[in-house]
Chain A
Amino acid sequence: MNIKDRVIGIIAEQAVLEPSDVKMDSTLEDLGIDSLGLVESIFAIEEEFDISVPFNANEPQESDFDISSVASIISGIETLVKEQS
């Protein structure tokens, strides 16, 4: 499975949805993932790819990691996997 599908799988599990219901332009809010759900998803992503995601829940906008949509999250993870491998 590629990075995109693995990330979608994690987000879908957190949102209790089928992966097919997770669209690239969905926001976490659209998917019903709250702030606690977000940190849990980031943990699951870190575990899955063995990477460290720079994200501070106090200032999500200031983080280098863009969580504004599923697409931006996937692209961020792809970059991090490349940088940290």
Chain B
Amino acid sequence: MKRVVITGAGTINSLGQNVQDTLGAMREGRCGISDLEFRDVDRLAIKIGGQVKGYDPETRFNRQQLALYDRFTQFTLIAAREAISQAGLEFSGELAARAGVVLGNSGGGMTTLDDNYRTVYEDGKNRVHPFVVPKLMNNAAASHVSMEFNLKGPSFTVATACASSNHAMAQAFQMVHGGLTPVMITGGSESMLCFGGVKAWEGLRVMSKDGCRPFSANRNGMVQGEGAGVFVFEEYEHARARGAEILAEVAGYAMSSDASDIVMPSKQGAARAIRGALRDARINLTEVGYINAHGTGTAANDKTESAAVADVFGAHADNLMISSTKSMHGHLIGGTGAVELLACIMALRDGVIAPTINYDEPDPECALDVVPNEAREAKVDVALSNAFAFGGLNAVLALRRHS
């Protein structure tokens, strides 16, 4: 089996429009959550989110491209450009034929859907723009990345709600690990911050009106974010032979299904995924220094996740650090695991642990070191990234520091 390393990273999210700014914000514990700005926001009960602000699509794409790119596709391409440029790869010949792109996404082109439903239902028009379907289909982002970078290998989109990106990256890892291809582009994106997108989430009564406070006793729900994270997963010898900078090693993963409830998380399902990732990566419990939590800030997730971590790690649960960066960038749903992987890379490569901000009061049901409010310096050898989705679909990635 081949070793797999990360040789490129890119992002755009409410904390920053590239990796450097995003990691800078995580280091400072800055909050990217603010008042939502879009049409009909006054009809929503939830008016905050991790929205990408100060973003002008016209400076990134031409008119023809914008006619075809929903916001989630735009975000994906911006992140992919950054990641592939950092990796310094050009895709041609044999490499192009084998390399592909597997991305996570949950809602597809929700803004496109929202705008065009408005056209036919609210405005009573009987005609919609011909690109509605190619814009909203949730493989659009993967397809446009494949076209822009000439990736002709296996490409598809994975939809497992809040675990989509982790499932996608696990799949990409497996392809490189198994020798199918030396390079895969992977990660995910989401952009549901529009009237219909937020209205649908409101219905579930799990959203906070005032902020995301994971693991804090006064938490009262999740806050949605938007953006993308994209990575270059590369076979180790391939990367070494061309002298590429290695950001971290992807050591293994596991996926599990709760097979119990469509929305309530399960401690057993989460614990099986965490344990499975350690086993797959051949990592001892005590090597794990940092976990990027799923940490949504809902009552149910945070206590279930804490219990699962305590269950898996036993006494070592008190030694490791676990933080939820959703407190800063919000929950990017299908793109969340990708943006959160950046915090794992920062922990391993830079020795900086992103904090859980907005942490006000300890909760006895979440009695772990959640790195409250301020980033911390620490040398970490192994980091995990948790994602536990609605529908009971879980995926955990294990990363190692590259030395």
Contact = CB atoms under 8 A, between A and B. Distances in A.
Interface of A: 16, 36, 39-40, 42-43, 46-47, 52
Q: Kindly state the interface size class of chain B when it binds its partner.
A: under 10
Contacts, number: 15
A46 B125 CA distance: 12
Contact of A46 (B67, B127, B131): B127
Contacts of A42: 130
B127 A40 contact: no
B70 to A, nearest CB: 16
Contact of B130 (A16, A43, A52): A43
B63 to A, nearest CB: 8
Interface in B98-132: 127, 129-131
B127 A39 contact: no
Contact of B131 (A16, A40, A47): A40
Contacts of B64: 16
B130 A47 contact: no
A46 B129 CA distance: 10
A80 to B, nearest CB: 14
Interface string B127-166: 1011100000000000000000000000000000000000
Contacts of B127: 43, 46-47, 52
Contacts of A52: 127
Nearest to B129: A43
Given A42-B130, A46-B127, A52-B127, 12 more contacts: A16-B64, A36-B130, A36-B131, A39-B130, A40-B67, A40-B129, A40-B130, A40-B131, A43-B127, A43-B129, A43-B130, A47-B127
A15 to B, nearest CB: 11
- Pick the most buried of A36, A39, A42: most chain B CB atoms within 10 A of its CB: A36
A43 B132 CA distance: 12
Q: Closest 9 CB pairs between A and B?
A: A39-B130, A43-B130, A40-B130, A46-B127, A43-B129, A47-B127, A40-B67, A40-B131, A43-B127
B174 to A, nearest CB: 35
Nearest to B130: A39
- Pick the most buried of B67, B129, B130, B131: most chain A CB atoms within 10 A of its CB: B130
Nearest to A38: B130
A43 B131 CA distance: 10
B326 to A, nearest CB: 38
Contacts of A39: 130
A66 to B, nearest CB: 19
Nearest to A50: B127
B61 to A, nearest CB: 14
14 contacts: A16-B64, A36-B130, A36-B131, A39-B130, A40-B67, A40-B129, A40-B131, A42-B130, A43-B127, A43-B129, A43-B130, A46-B127, A47-B127, A52-B127
A36 B131 CA distance: 8
A36 B129 CA distance: 11
Contacts of A16: 64
- Pick the most buried of A40, A46, A52: most chain B CB atoms within 10 A of its CB: A40
Contacts of B129: 40, 43
A42 B130 CA distance: 9
B128 to A, nearest CB: 8
A46 B128 CA distance: 10
Contacts of A46: 127
Interface string B53-74: 0000000000010010000000
A84 B208 CA distance: 52
Contacts of A43: 127, 129-130
Contacts of B67: 40
A52 B125 CA distance: 12
Nearest to B131: A40
A39 B133 CA distance: 13
A39 to B, nearest CB: 4
B202 to A, nearest CB: 33
